[in-house]
Amino acid sequence: MSVLATIVICAVLGPWIAPDSPTVQDLALGEVPPTPRHLAGTDALGRDVLSRVVHGARTALVGPALVAAGAYAVATVLGLLSGFFGGLPDIVVMRSVDFVIALPEALVAIVVVGVVGGGYWTAVLVLVVLFTAPATRVIRAAVMEQRSTPYIDAARLLGVSVPRILVVHILPNVRPIVGAYAMLDFAFAFISLIGLSFLGVGAPPGSLDWGRMVYENRTLLFTNPAGLLLPATTILLTAVSINLIGDWLSERPTR
């Protein structure tokens, strides 16, 4: 939580806490190792690495957050309808889910972004669609478990409308599961977007994206190792932290 809180602070207050401009180039300086002026050194264009990593926190968190929120917003609606009504709605939704799950996520994202264009935000939209399918399956299973409980039977006997049963009674009981799995999907989306940017089909060249920084700074390993290791280590710590928090949330409701 401390690591994630630090990343969030960088994302929100980046322009005020970064030691230097992330875009100003100093071609005469070039790539230099850490100095008191540049704590993590500079990249090949003379840009301050630490400032670029601090500013990159915003891109690193906003995209995955949109993927997780969008996927679970759609998946919650589909999962509620599929799990509660069953029958034809369930068949249509689950066969569509099975089809999407069968697709290789990374390959589909690379092909769509490469063909359609749009870079980072197209990748976000594609991942929302791809992440909706497994989320729908999880929520459907939770709704089916709640559907057969006595309090739902009592609500039906009292004449409570179906929309009210879904929103007021079932949704609050599946919300902890939704939150836990959304956090895990946030981590998967984080890694996916970082990977796409590293491969050159996500964020454009020179953008403040950690994956793009790792790709562009890979040649600095022997001249300024911090220029490569700082964004790479930040990616690792952020991904591990999000996964640990997601695991904790998924275990917490059962205790």
Band of pLDDT at residue 255, cut at 50, 70 and 90? very low
Q: Where are the domains of the chain?
A: 63-201+241-254
Return the structure tokens found at 119.
């870079």
Q: Kindly report the average pLDDT of the chain as a whole number.
A: 87
Alpha helices in 49-203 (DSSP H): 49-85, 87-101, 105-116, 120-147, 150-157, 162-164, 171-199
pLDDT, position 40? 87
pTM score over 0.75:
yes
253 secondary structure, DSSP code: G
pLDDT, position 237? 94
Over residues 228-253, the pLDDT tens digits come to: 999 999 999 999 998 888 878 777 65
pLDDT, position 254? 47
113 within 8 A of 201, measured Cβ to Cβ: yes
Q: Which whole number is the average pLDDT over 36-61?
A: 89
Q: Which whole number is the average pLDDT over 18-32?
A: 84
79 within 8 A of 143, measured Cβ to Cβ: yes
